[in-house]
Structure 1
């Protein structure tokens, strides 16, 4: 069977050359994850080299399944925000071993597979108010922004004011600022791979001004053994897994589903507002989470950067398969990934954070029963340094305000359930 017939290129008005170029475009816009994800999970105590391999493999497997099984031009990789929750909230914030946290990711992936097979995923998404869905994304953006400013040295701890501005004369701070401005400028000029170029530029400067040392470019892939099948399911169950799995599940649910629908809409692949192979795409997404946890990385999800490939003409799964092959090729640049300092990935984090804040305009600010829970959610996530706490506060506030204003019937059952779970958790912890 030829590429033409397998991917239905003619039916989608595309060609092999167009799909390959679209895959390269998508890859360039999301390749920064091979540097950022290992850096974040390394903060949680995970071995950087093994996480690098797991990141490349999880992205390759997820993208390949999305392309071959669902035939959509959507790249997959460990998601931003989800990795931050894994590292800074679950592991560092709650003192959970990273192996147990991987167990929670694995369980959330299995739960995803179940709700996807049963067709419940869409029902859950429709039941949760758009204001809360938007606020979770915005709150995660603020959370990533705080982490980025900290890694860049722009924000430091202060015993009197909690946080304060860092030493703006330090070379790493100035290089991070330069990297951020470079990324924004290149993105505005529609340069492909703007984020990746920014990371590489700051890394090159670090050899001159930051005391970094070049360790080569190509090498055989590092061993995956330190993270492969290291998820601790028993440990996850013993740590009170319901709360952690619930948050992983909710963030994955909104992130992946919203991205799938958004990219499909931009590609003109929606029929009467619906994706023809939505269930296949959801199953591919769910399977990628399970595979990623087994390999040793936080949740894998659909990347919004896939829209860049769609803009370049990608319309079929051949685009996603191209992305998968390029991530496999990245396995041989581990030495380069190992020398990327935190202040080189900080500009990428900050830029992604800024993009996530643009959803604020979708909130109905005239209805305080919608706006206030959304604001509570978005504010609480960075200020408590916990995505879980922010989501919990937001859902509880939403349910209580609707009840107190006589609009309890407007609240979907799934929201009452989630609010009750978080309320019980807070009461139990107290």
Structure 2
């Protein structure tokens, strides 16, 4: 399924995720906010969290341009310190005992396992998780320069790690442990192997004890990183042949729909459907694989049913 996705859409997925990450950063910082008339709008950026986020964006950008090692981490720390006199950074302590998992761990309910409602729920969650993972893998692999002839190496192992994390996390009662788009920040800092993820996992384990300290870091200090990671993820767009509209139109639909639909999976699906329809109506049947036909048909039914 992953290998059936055309290279132009694979490049589009990375760019779309970049816009998505940047939008999340702007939203979490309060720079972009809800507006009933226009859906979104620019908030007051002259004070509070939005101002601190823009200051952090400026500082981190300069450090990045100057090629300072660990520029993103230094940017977060500098922004956090600036937030103290602004009254945004609040000290919550240093060490605390992690809360018990007993209330949520292994709390299963099998009363509706063999029902149509459960089957629909499982299919929906499987679909969302699978295509979010596909989108993230394609996006970060593109950015890392790890794609080999349009294919991701060791993709089975990557999906297995995601599947184990999703299953075990659910059993422990936590939020879904899945491949996350913020992985691109590690790629941007030079991460290219599993050692990066392993060290990150160890740091998260240690961070459990220092949760109060890390919770003192305001979202305005971390959001600039998401915005810049969005920039890094845009580079694959250069590989799309914008003059070939059978490639660029579906790619553009994929890019724009990921942030607009607020869903990586929906953006990929709409891109795949538009790719098949565009090339089919233009008589370019040979460009479309059997797998693409099947996927497009299934995804179309998803929206019709």
Shorter chain as denominator, the TM-score bin is: 0.7 to 0.9
Indicate if the aligned counterparts of 2:9 and 2:251 stay in contact, CA closer than 8 A: yes
Shift of the alpha carbon at 1:165?
A: 1.7
Aligned position for 1:149: 26
Shift of the alpha carbon at 1:229?
A: 4.4
| Residues 207, 335 of structure 1: alpha-carbon distance in 2 compared, 3 angstrom cutoff | same
CA distance in 1, matches of 2:136, 2:158: 13
Aligned position for 1:247: 128
Indicate if the aligned counterparts of 1:141 and 1:352 stay in contact, CA closer than 8 A: yes
Indicate if the aligned counterparts of 2:33 and 2:42 stay in contact, CA closer than 8 A: yes
The 5 A counterparts of 1:101-116 are none
* SS of alignment partner, residue 41 of structure 2: strand
Indicate if the aligned counterparts of 2:188 and 2:232 stay in contact, CA closer than 8 A: no
Aligned position for 2:72: 195
Aligned position for 2:302: 425
- Alignment pair present for 1:237 and 2:115: no
Aligned position for 2:216: 339
The 5 A counterparts of 1:14-413 are 124-225=1-102, 228-229=105-106, 237=118, 240-256=121-137, 259=140, 280=157, 283-295=160-172, 296-301=174-179, 303-304=183-184, 305=186, 308=189, 321-413=198-290
* SS of alignment partner, residue 126 of structure 1: coil
- The range that moved more, 206-215 or 354-363, is 206-215
CA distance in 1, matches of 2:139, 2:31: 32
CA distance in 2, matches of 1:367, 1:415: 19
CA distance in 2, matches of 1:141, 1:231: 37
Shift of the alpha carbon at 1:214?
A: 0.9
CA distance in 2, matches of 1:231, 1:350: 39
Shift of the alpha carbon at 1:135?
A: 1.8
Shift of the alpha carbon at 1:338?
A: 2.3
* SS of alignment partner, residue 345 of structure 1: helix
Shift of the alpha carbon at 1:180?
A: 1.4
- The range that moved more, 381-390 or 174-183, is 381-390
CA distance in 2, matches of 1:282, 1:150: 30
CA distance in 2, matches of 1:133, 1:231: 38
* SS of alignment partner, residue 250 of structure 1: helix
* SS of alignment partner, residue 234 of structure 2: helix
Shift of the alpha carbon at 1:419?
A: 1.6
1:365-394 CA-to-partner distances (Å, cap 9, x unmatched) read 121111101101111222233334322321
Q: What is the root-mean-square deviation of aligned Cα atoms in Å?
A: 3.4
Shift of the alpha carbon at 1:137?
A: 2.5
Under a length normalisation based on structure 1, what TM-score does the superposition of the two structures give?
0.59
CA distance in 2, matches of 1:156, 1:299: 28
CA distance in 1, matches of 2:190, 2:253: 35
Higher helix share: 1
Indicate if the aligned counterparts of 1:257 and 1:282 stay in contact, CA closer than 8 A: no
Indicate if the aligned counterparts of 2:143 and 2:232 stay in contact, CA closer than 8 A: no
Shift of the alpha carbon at 1:239?
A: 5.4
Under a length normalisation based on structure 2, what TM-score does the superposition of the two structures give?
0.80
CA distance in 1, matches of 2:141, 2:62: 27
CA distance in 2, matches of 1:280, 1:194: 31
Structure 1: stretches of 5+ with no match in the other structure:
1-123
CA distance in 1, matches of 2:288, 2:165: 32
CA distance in 2, matches of 1:390, 1:261: 17
